[in-house]
Amino acid sequence: MSTAGASTADTPDPGTAVTEIARFDVKPGTESDFVAAYHSVRHEIATSPGCRSIRMSRGVESPSSFVLLVEWETLTAHTEGFRGSEGYGRWRAAISPYFAGTPTVEHVAGVDAPRAAPVGTA
């Protein structure tokens, strides 16, 4: 099935929970320092309003590659809330010296079946 021409009805509601997927390649030889920097500022995201969970993973075959998964209550909790905060500046300042290139960031939303209406509301 093609997704070309998908309608806006297929676009998640602005209040929908999203997962941020950020991919980082770090300079070879700086992986341990990057991980330490991440641990020192992880709380900046974890305590940000709207953050549900955060997890950083490291590539097995590509140990200089890292993937950050952050579950947000809404897209705006990330793009306006966290990115507009002083915590974001501290986050970037701590980890960006290790970047080998520009990180990529995208947001995804679940496509599971919609929740059933609460009993008695139909």
Ramachandran quadrant class, 111 (left: phi over 0; alpha: psi -120 to 50; beta: rest): alpha
| Strand pairing category for 104-108 and 18-25 | antiparallel
Structural domains for the chain: 16-108 (3.30.70.100)
pLDDT reported for residue 107: 95
Output the average pLDDT for the chain: 88
The answer on pLDDT for 68 being more than 70 is yes
What integer is the mean pLDDT of 60-70?
98
Q: Enumerate the β-bridge partners of residue 93.
A: none
Shortest CA distance to 31 belongs to which of 100, 102, 101, 106? 100
pTM, to two decimals: 0.80
Higher pLDDT, 116 or 42: 42
